[in-house]
Amino acid sequence: MKRIFFLAMLISELAFGQTNPSSDSLRTIETQSISIIGLQNKYIGGSSCRVNNTQLQKMNQLDINKILRSMPGIQVRDEEGFGLRPNIGLRGTPVNRSAKITVMEDGVLMAPAAYADPAAYYFPTFTRMSGIEVLKGSSQIKYGPYTIGGAINLLSTSIPTTFKAFAQASYGSFGLNQQRFWVGDTKGQLSYLFEINRLATRGFRELDGGGNTGFDRRDYLGKVRWQSKAAARVLQSVQLKVLHTEENANETYLGLNFTDFQENPLRRYSGTQKDLLNLFHNHVVLQHVLTPFKRLQITTSGYLTQTFRDWGRANSFGGQSINAIIADNNTNQLGYQIMTGEANGEVIFRSAARHYITKGLQTNARYQFKTGAIEHSIELGLRLHQDQANRYGTQSKYQMTSGLMILTDGGEQGNQENQIRQGTSLASYLNYQLHYKHWTLNTGIRQEFITLSFLNYGNADFARTGSDLKSADNQVQVWLPGASLYYDLNERNSLFTGIHKGFSPPGIPNTTSGEQARAEEALNYELGYRLLSNKLQIQAALFRSAYQNLLGSDNISGGGLGTGNQFNAGKAMVQGLELSTQYLMKLPFMPSIQVPIQMNYTYTNATFAETFINGGGDWGVGQINSGDFIPFIAPHLLNCSVGLEHKKWNALLSANYVGTTRTTPGQDPSIVAISNENYALVNSIKGFTILDFSSNWVLNEQWMLYGSIQNIANNLHIVANLPQGYRSALPRTFVLGLKMKL
């Protein structure tokens, strides 16, 4: 492995790190956060969308789920109401913990262990971001390892070219408050940016007996860059980015049974009073950009990430599992009474401490040239990546006494889970783009060579001496070709189509004699239309993913046992339509006001194409038949917004509709929970709509007042049944704040 690292260092000046610079001119050193879309390059041979900082400032949205739902093709499952740990899927990929998409910040992988343990229990803090990019189809094959659905890239605050400062403070319902401040400048060859962001609330859940159900998350970001003089023969820059995130959250996995949800959707059971998440995240990136001559740019990034999270949660009450109690509290009456604090009894409590280490080196080179009327662009990328998840799960015991939980047995660290998961990948890609008159052809191939290892020390070997060690290894090598074709019908209208082989790693091998999980692979097709004009933009795309092997997973967050194992589900078919329109209208009788209108719609049909026995997780246990719908993929998603914009103020009203969504596989009609329903037959969550409003008022050149109302209609219908029970959306929430810029 040391030799591989040394080889990568030698060639790092020949190729650059899996990202595209967003500047059109290769003689200009990149001063923004690394972008995978760039300046909305219309020649992208696939579906793409981007929300920039100007749009984010108008929305004043704290929850990334709401922003993602304003884009087509994105499935989101709500959980705690604030979007801190979003469950995201793209074009029908499983949503649980965003484990089947590629998530990046400034072009660098951000999942704690993208290969070894991909469930994203850490997700970058959205409220400090300046933009979001989403790529789907063959255009995102460069951004692995998860290339079936797509890639999401979050853009952090860029270093300004002149002195700038920004401050923001707000306060709202449930003690929801944010403080954000950043300052940056460029002086000659040196530039910097420092940012602090805090988001906190006392929570909106109502804990039996009282108590805080909120969180406090803080981010500290620093960037320092040196760049050569503009007149230098060879342009280059070196940037150091350092990020620290910490969070304490009185958060739980436990929702409500339906009867309790009807009585009070915001209730939280007494048995969750000790549930607590502690998290910290450190991230360092050293980046070098080199432009040796006009048509060639090389960027190399080395990164090191450390993430720790310990989520302690009640696991059973009176010897009865939470899932059993939620499903049928009459049969499990004692457990239910202990859970609600109405009876005394034993509570099994588990803390899931996990320490993640990620490190890597990625490099990419882009060379552009012309031969007559033909424009060429060649990109070569290489990434060497290692990640590790160190799991210590500890089981302790409490006694519920008169509604209070009293610790009776602290337990030995690792008595529930004691293992190490490791992943190593050498990934590379070659992409060629040819542009001639109205035609643009993109072809490319990605290669992944992955080694996965699993060390399970057992629940008695706390010192990890190896006395009861069970281990397993797996190697995967895959070649992933792709191609897209773009055609300009005229200056405004264009068509695009593409096909590529998608891939997801198989996860950690198991140490039993059962069937090992195979890599997830699919053939992905896309056909689209794009219209770009000053007032009107339209993008429509038909997509189809023909899975050769779909993978399920077993996580507590997905209703399983929490082993983290993945299992084969065989063939599957996901297909649908994405439609996005934006129109800028001006009022003839009020020329100083313009009216932006936006509509996004997604239809998705996702079905299993083989009959198999399921291994657990959020698909349940038992036989799944060919033709059954894949759960947690809403067939209909709709987002509409209308705004009013004046140079002194703006206002935006948006509506998000999520159609009725299946929660179990099957082909029978949807059955949703109602007051007289047999809940064992419930297989779907009823569709719902959430309305939000935001407005900004310019006081002077430096100061702006803003306000927002989330969930205007106070819709407290069921938005999710995972993890462990029904939960509602964030209730109606008012926020009022000030922004200052220099």
C-alpha distances (whole Å) from 269 to each of 182, 326, 467, 592 are: 40, 12, 41, 53
The two tokens of residue 59 are 């929305």
Q: Residues for the chain: how many in total?
A: 742
Residue 510: pLDDT band by 50, 70, 90 thresholds? confident
Whether the CB-CB separation of 318 and 333 falls below 8 Å is answered with no
What is the DSSP code string of 673-716? --TT--GGG--EE--EEEEEEEEEEE-SSSEEEEEEEESTT---
How high is the pLDDT of residue 558? 74
Is the pLDDT assigned to residue 341 strictly greater than 90? yes
456 Cβ neighbours under 8 A, 6+ residues apart? 418, 419, 469, 470, 471, 511
What pLDDT, on the 0 to 100 scale, is given for residue 694?
Answer: 98
Mean pLDDT over 495-517 rounds to 89
Give the mean pLDDT of 299-312: 97
Residue 705: pLDDT band with limits 50, 70, 90:
very high
Q: How confident is the model at residue 666 (pLDDT cuts 50, 70, 90)?
A: very high
Q: Is the pLDDT of residue 456 over 50?
A: yes
SS (H, E, C) 598-639: EEEEEEEEEEECCCEEEECHHHCEEEECCCCECCCCCCEEEE
**Which residues have C-beta within 8 Å of that of residue 101, sequence separation ≥ 6?**
88, 89, 90, 93, 146, 149, 150, 151, 152
Map residue 540 onto helix, strand or coil: strand
pLDDT band for 11, please (50, 70, 90 cuts): very low
3-state secondary structure of 108: strand
Q: Extract the tokens encoding 27.
A: 């003689």
Residue 18 clears pLDDT 80, i.e. is over it: no
Q: Is 368 helix (H, G, I), strand (E, B) or coil?
A: strand
| Residues 480/447, Cβ–Cβ less than 8 Å | yes
Contact 285, 301 (CB under 8 A): yes
The predicted structure's pLDDT at residue 565: 76
Cβ proximity of 569 and 550 under 8 Å: yes
pTM assigned to the model: 0.93
Alpha carbons 15 and 26: distance in angstroms, whole number: 15
On whether the CB atoms of residues 93 and 607 are closer than 8 A, the answer is no
**Residues 559-590: pLDDT tens digits?**
777 777 788 999 999 999 999 999 999 988 88
pLDDT score recorded for residue 20: 40
State yes or no: pLDDT of 630 exceeds 50. yes
All structural domains of the chain: 2-520 (2.40.170.20)
Closest by CA position to 176, among listed 213, 147, 197, 201: 201
| Window from 13-17, 128-132, 464-468, 638-642 with minimum mean pLDDT | 13-17
How far apart are alpha carbons 410 and 395 in whole angstroms? 8
Q: How far apart are CA 170 and CA 706, in angstroms?
A: 9
Rounded CA gap, 629 and 663, in Å? 9
Task: Say which range, 27-41, 428-442, 506-520, has the weakest mean pLDDT.
Answer: 27-41
* Mean of pLDDT values over 355-365: 97
How many angstroms separate the CA atoms of 296 and 380, rounded?
11
Which residues are registered as beta bridge partners of 608?
A: 572
Query: Is the per-residue pLDDT at 615 higher than 90?
Result: no
Question: Average pLDDT for residues 600-608, to the nearest whole number?
Answer: 98
Mean pLDDT, rounded, for 41-67 = 87
267-268 and 636-646 as β-strands: parallel, antiparallel, unpaired? unpaired
Q: Which residue has the tokens 């006001």?
A: 593
For residues 193 and 181, give the distance between their C-alpha atoms in angstroms, rounded to a whole number: 11
Coil, helix or strand at residue 56: helix
**pLDDT for the residue 64:** 97
Q: Are the C-beta atoms of 506 and 425 separated by less than 8 Å?
A: no
Rounded Cα–Cα distance for residues 475 and 373 (Å):
45
Name which of 285, 421, 354, 305 is nearest 121 in CA terms: 354
Q: Exposed, middle or buried, 24 (CB in 10 Å: 0-12/13-18/19+)?
A: exposed
pLDDT at residue 677, rounded to an integer: 67
521, 505 in Cβ contact below 8 A?
no
456 vs 419, 464, 471, 711, CA distance in Å? 4, 9, 6, 45
Which of 281, 280, 300 has its CA nearest to residue 290? 300
Q: What is the pLDDT of residue 42?
A: 61
Provide the 10 A C-beta neighbour count for residue 337.
18
Q: What is the pLDDT of residue 4?
A: 37
Least confidently predicted of 67-71, 139-143, 421-425, 662-666: 139-143
Report the distance separating Cα 347 and Cα 186, nearest Å: 57
The pLDDT confidence band at residue 120, using thresholds 50, 70 and 90, is confident
- Tokens representing 44? 């992208």
Q: For position 40, what pLDDT does the model report?
A: 40
Neighbour order of strands in the sheet with 150-156: 48-51, 129-136, 150-156, 102-105, 108-109
Residue 56, pLDDT score: 96
Mean pLDDT of the chain: 91
Q: What per-residue confidence (pLDDT) applies to 149?
A: 93
pLDDT digits (tens, 9 = 90+) for 164-210: 999 999 999 999 999 999 999 999 999 999 999 999 999 999 999 99
A 10 A CB-CB count for 468 gives: 13
> How far, in Å, CA of 415 to CA of 43, rounded?
55
CA distance 693 to 736: 12
What's CA 590's distance to the chain center, in Å? 41
Cis peptide before 481 (omega within 30 of 0): no
* Contact assessment for residue 559 and residue 573, using Cβ atoms and an 8 Å cutoff: no
